[in-house]
Amino acid sequence: MIVGAGIGGLAAAGALRRVGVDVEIHEQASELRAAGSALSLTANARVALRCLGIDLDVERRGQVYPELHFRTATGRPIRTVRFAHLGDRVGAQNVAIHRGELHRALLAEAGDPPIRLGSAARRFHRHHGGIRVEFADGTSADGDLLIGADGFGSAVRRQLVGPERPREPGYVCWLATVAYRHHLVREGYAAHYWGRGQRFGLVHLGGDHVYWWGTRNMPPEAARDWRGGRDEILHAYAGWADEVVATVAATADAAVISVPARDRPALRRWGDGAVTLLGDAAHPMLPSLGQGAAMAVEDAVVLARCLAGATDLPGALRRYEAARRDRTRRMIRQAHSLSRIEQLASPAGDLARRAYLRWLPTRLVDRRNLADLTFPDALPAAGR
């Protein structure tokens, strides 16, 4: 049983289908649709899927971005980080894709599994050698294994590790996808604009669509309860580069999604017995690396490979967790540290940040990016 039909849950369903494991998905939403805007499906996720023979045709569904431009708030270049040659080395390119497109591709790969909507998991317990999950509507379901892919507020995680408080660095994230083209935003364009205490990302999604995101420092409680609109965002980016202002101005209020920046410290224990976690339920991270979706996809592939032909199911889950723990812990730590640098608000901090990025040797930039973009193919030996 998979709880959650987001990117992680559907990736797990498709990966498990490839190794002959039947799945049943339970989703708390009343309809099956992808919430959110767009995302990066980085090379490591694509290579991971290829290990199971899965090709989601994401280059047709989205847009390859061969490089990432870093600019000041007014659009002056700071540095361009090139990804294409790293993609050639690892065997795939980074792709920007709308979450809905990726959702549909993963659902097709999963092969129309049983999906029960309106099923909000509340608790689980062991039952006749398996797992029984109880739902908010009073119903229950039984299975051999339970995979908690139910996101940041995971009910499965809460029962496994107890109540937790998220880490909230104190900024809001705005996200939107809009049908709009600017003459500076050409095919494959991807750029981050850095201001003091706020940033803006602008990515061409293919055709006439662009994806943008913005951040702004504010108290955590304000970020949690932000209810402004496009005009407030426009005011926040007044005086920024023309393509930034024009893209926000072309966005309807209803298209803007607001989420507070938050993550959680890495867990030492992801599961118990026939229960485990996957994706944001296991390792929610700040968006600074653009690796959240990729980590969920990697999880799904490693989980499937550990379960393929397994007779000791809890043992297979522990192998999966052992294989994923160090890499996801490093990603959480990197994203958290980078976020602090990206959101610096003081003039001195802003100046130091730009100087560091401009003069950091290319070999070091490539080394760090290559480590992130390389899917670690090895699995722990059975019995470890």
pLDDT at 215: 98
- Residue 188 counted as domain residue: no
β-strands 115-117, 25-27 pairing = parallel
For residue 322, the domain's CATH number is: 3.50.50.60
Sign of CA dihedral 353, 226, 283, 21: negative
- Residue 368 counted as domain residue: no
Number of domains into which the chain is organized: 1
pLDDT at 127: 83
The SS3 call for residue 377 is: coil
- pLDDT tens for 233-276 read 999 999 999 999 999 999 999 999 999 999 999 999 999 999 99
* Cα(235)–Cα(207) distance, integer angstroms: 28
pLDDT at 380: 67
- pLDDT tens for 180-230 read 989 999 999 999 999 999 999 999 999 899 999 999 999 999 999 999 999
- Cβ(78)–Cβ(70) below 8 Å: yes
Q: Which residues pair with 80 in a beta bridge?
A: 69
pLDDT at 340: 95
pLDDT at 384: 43
Least confident of 17-26, 28-37, 79-88: 28-37
Residue 383 has pLDDT above 60, yes or no: no
Give residues with Cβ within 8 angstroms of 2, minimum separation 6.
9, 12, 13, 23, 24, 25, 26, 147, 149
- Residue 221 counted as domain residue: no
In this prediction, residues 350-355 reach a mean pLDDT of: 94
Owning domain of residue 42:
2-62+96-166+264-342
CA proximity to 43, closest of 31, 20, 59: 59
pLDDT at 382: 59
* Cα(99)–Cα(104) distance, integer angstroms: 9
- Residue 248 counted as domain residue: no
Angle between helices 43-50 and 362-373 (to 10 degrees): 40
- Residue 100 counted as domain residue: yes
- Residue 307 counted as domain residue: yes
Residue 36 has pLDDT above 80, yes or no: no
- Residue 369 counted as domain residue: no
Residue 280 has pLDDT above 90, yes or no: yes
DSSP string for 36-84: S-EEEE-HHHHHHHHTTT----HHHHSEE--EEEEEETT--EEEEEE-H
Bigger pLDDT: 112 vs 70: 70
Least confident of 32-36, 121-125, 210-214, 272-276: 32-36
* Confidence band for 131, pLDDT divided at 50, 70 and 90: very high
Can you give the pTM of this predicted structure? 0.96
* Cα(147)–Cα(156) distance, integer angstroms: 8
- Residue 360 counted as domain residue: no
pLDDT at 211: 96
The SS3 call for residue 280 is: helix
Give residues with Cβ within 8 angstroms of 215, minimum separation 6.
171, 172, 173, 174, 198, 199, 200, 261, 342, 343
pLDDT at 181: 86
CA proximity to 281, closest of 127, 157, 146: 157
pLDDT at 138: 95
* Cα(373)–Cα(294) distance, integer angstroms: 9
> How many residues can be counted in the chain?
384
Give residues with Cβ within 8 angstroms of 302, minimum separation 6.
48, 320, 323, 324, 379
Tokens 């002056």 — which residue?
A: 76
pLDDT at 381: 62
pLDDT at 189: 97
Mean pLDDT of the chain: 95
* Cα(204)–Cα(215) distance, integer angstroms: 19
Sign of CA dihedral 127, 300, 368, 258: negative
